[in-house]
Amino acid sequence: MATLNNFDANQVDPSVALDPLPAGKYTAVISDTEYKPTKSGGGKYLQLTFQVIDGEFKGRLVWARLNLENKSEMTVKIARGELSAICRAVGVMQPKDSVELHNVPLEITVGLKKRDDNGEFTNAIKGYAKKGGGAAPQRQASSAGPGSTPPWKR
């Protein structure tokens, strides 16, 4: 048994199941990154959380996983190519830490793929580009820590 600290469902809007985003291009920022071990324990991946920052789906999240450490050289090559595309899209060519990629608007191309476990559709990021197709500014490492106002919100 767990104490629910006088929770009152009348005071909280219920959560609603969200369908995947429609396939298309969205302006987003990387809002979080985390380096995690793979299920098999034979490698590690960088999980990136992208947050849509404008339009009808503003606030929605999409995730990407880059298998940067893996027994398969091809898997690592693909992940490194995807990371290169992300770096170019946000204008950070030599990041020392994934936080340097956070809060810079970029365009993501989102597609749909069928899940193996339940056959339902889920989102998959198919590509990354500079916001508006223009040149992304080269950025220096930011000393701003978590909780600081991201540049696109200023």
Cα 107 to chain center, whole Å? Answer: 12
Q: What's the pLDDT at 1?
A: 76
Indicate the average pLDDT of the chain. 88
pLDDT at 139 over 60: no
pLDDT at 33 over 80: yes
- With 0.85 as the threshold, say if the pTM is over it: no
Reported as a pLDDT band with limits 50, 70 and 90, residue 18 is confident
Over residues 111-130, the mean pLDDT reads 94
Distance set, CA 40 to CA 26, 36, 37 (Å): 33, 12, 8
Distance set, CA 125 to CA 16, 18, 21, 24, 32 (Å): 23, 17, 11, 10, 16
Pairwise CA distance, residues 71 & 15, whole Å: 39
List, for residues 70-106, the tens digit of each pLDDT value: 999 999 999 999 999 999 999 999 999 999 999 999 9
List, for residues 75-85, the tens digit of each pLDDT value: 999 999 999 99
Pairwise CA distance, residues 79 & 14, whole Å: 37
Q: What's the pLDDT at 40?
A: 86
Q: Which domains does the chain have, with CATH numbers?
A: 20-133 (2.40.50)
